[in-house]
Structure 1
Amino acid sequence: MTLTARQQEIKDEFIRIRKTWAPQWESILRMDCEYLNSYLQLSAVPFKHNYLEDKVKEFIYLAMNVSSTHMFAPGVSLHLKLALDFGATGDELMEVLQLASSVGIHGANVGGRVLTEVLTEQGVTVNRDQDDQRCARLKAAFMAFQGHWDLSWDTLVALDPDFFERYVRFAEVPWKKGPLEPKVKELVLCAIDAAATHLYEPGIKAHMRSAIRYGATQVEIMEMLEIVSVVGIHGALIGGSMLEEALGARARH
């Protein structure tokens, strides 16, 4: 379908600023190009400020898209390619995927606390591990690579130290051998927690503190938040093409 002069202008500007284009944008461009332009101007801010290098921006986009709370496959494919174009290595990208995979533990973080509250409400004795030395060792092992501790971990390690121990071994993998600098790891983890699809406030605070400790600045953290804050556009990306198809089908009948 031929684009109008205005539609083509917006598409060209999108490619110039974002260094990419995907078929999913075509439906929005055709149906409401000024809406797409307004999104472009919003999403362009981090690319105009450029406090984070391009491949780090793509790590953040990738983590947001691949997170178990979102799993937007077109975005995963797109940002993997862009990250490679910007010089990322396979090992770096694998590490981003590993970091993103740890988000599932938040079900146990929140659920463990709720379980304790419910058992107490029902008058049921909460069985906690009594091996204080083991719990202290597990806490120390966690702190060795995370550098922080949240009260939600106290509940989890006390309820099932076996599970917590295996989680530590799982989550520490990218910290033991991953090539990304600690600041970048923390920005990636913070991005996952801060995305509207997750919004895990304890994690946001913990990873912001750690990112700052590793040298992240206010503007770098804010740029990360600006990147994850555009996740809502994926609804229009998916729905726009479906709407265009539905309108086309109705017109044919």
Structure 2
Amino acid sequence: MDDLARTRERFHRAGVAWHPAFDLLGLEAPDFVDAFLDFSRSAAAGSALTPKDRQLIQVALAVATTHLDRDGAAVHIREAARLGATRAELVHVCQFSTLLGIHTMPLALSVLVEEAERAGHALDEEVSEEGTRAGERFVAHRGVLPEDLEPLLRLDPGFLDAYRTLSRTVVSAGVLEPKLVELIIVALDVSSTHLFAPGARLHVRNALAAGATISELMEVIKLTSALGISGTALGVRLVDEAFAGG
């Protein structure tokens, strides 16, 4: 068995996914691969999450619209399936990425309202009956209307209703248990490619209310810390292409 095969076997024994780019990194930078293995083993060594749930969370992180790590997603989807994840569970996990799009609104709405008022545009101060009903429906289905989405009650209650329906469909699909749903959303919100603090706080609160433990939440947070390997993987493959045949 050569050095690369032995390194791959060590990853397998540690339960750490072998990213395709490690075939290059294992030859070019073996010390880095060893260090990353130790780091990943620390991030994935907890026992609070089941191995399958851990893989489902990593699938969500890989396919997130802020990340789009095709190779990593393929690795974690295969591993999740090996551990017993169903097709329905994996399809459900992929749907969470769509919800990240709404996070443009907290930034955009505050800027729009402030700059419109500064420019002298009159915005409705009172919430219409349609807006009031839209807000009530949102709270009934999601428990709370985030403060940073409240301007939609005045500006576009129809859009808020459409988002409520979309998010309710994803969050309440009934494929994954509510606690795991919240843990997945926490992972997406705290990931280095998103860093959405208001959502992270809301969904940590929801996860705790759904029965999540501090240990489970810490494992979720640690899993997100390994996302940086995707940039390294992309870079070394491009380096390899640039020097191919040189």
TM-score in terms of structure 2 length? 0.92
**Matched AA of 2:230:** H
**Structure 2 residue aligned with 1:95:** 92
The answer to whether the 8 A contact 1:112-1:159 is kept is no
Cα separation, partners in 2 of 1:89 and 1:160, compared to 1, 3 Å? same
State the alpha-carbon separation in 2 of the partners of residues 121 and 47 from structure 1. Answer: 50
Question: SS in structure 2 opposite 1:44?
Answer: helix
Q: Deviations over 1:102-148 (max 9, x none)?
A: 110111232111111111222222246632x4434323332334333
**Matched AA of 2:201:** K
State the identity as a percent: 28
**Structure 2 residue aligned with 1:104:** 101
2:156 to 154, 160, 163: 160
How many matched pairs? 246
**Matched AA of 1:147:** G
**Structure 2 residue aligned with 1:61:** 58
State the alpha-carbon separation in 2 of the partners of residues 249 and 217 from structure 1. Answer: 53
Residue correspondence of structure 1 range 141-180 to structure 2 within 5 A = 141-180=137-176
The answer to whether the 8 A contact 1:147-1:210 is kept is no
State the alpha-carbon separation in 1 of the partners of residues 150 and 240 from structure 2. Answer: 51
Q: Deviations over 1:28-84 (max 9, x none)?
A: 111001101111111112432121011111121111111111111112222111111
Question: SS in structure 2 opposite 1:49?
Answer: coil
State the alpha-carbon separation in 2 of the partners of residues 14 and 143 from structure 1. Answer: 45
What is the CA RMSD across the aligned residues, in angstroms? 1.9
1:121 to 115, 118, 121: 118
Question: SS in structure 2 opposite 1:21?
Answer: coil
2:216 to 217, 220, 226: 220
**Structure 1 residue aligned with 2:233:** 237
**Structure 2 residue aligned with 1:27:** 24
List alignment gaps of at least 5 residues for structure 2.
Answer: none
Bigger mean CA offset, 118-127 vs 203-212: 118-127
Deviation at 1:20, TM superposition (A): 4.0
State the alpha-carbon separation in 2 of the partners of residues 39 and 176 from structure 1. Answer: 36
Cα separation, partners in 2 of 1:141 and 1:15, compared to 1, 3 Å? same
State the alpha-carbon separation in 1 of the partners of residues 113 and 170 from structure 2. Answer: 31
List alignment gaps of at least 5 residues for structure 1.
Answer: none
The answer to whether the 8 A contact 1:60-1:191 is kept is yes
TM-score in terms of structure 1 length? 0.90
2:184 to 188, 208, 214: 188
**Structure 1 residue aligned with 2:44:** 47
State the alpha-carbon separation in 1 of the partners of residues 142 and 51 from structure 2. Answer: 25
The answer to whether the 8 A contact 2:16-2:41 is kept is no
**Matched AA of 1:125:** A
1:36 aligns with 2:70: no
Bigger mean CA offset, 158-167 vs 14-23: 14-23
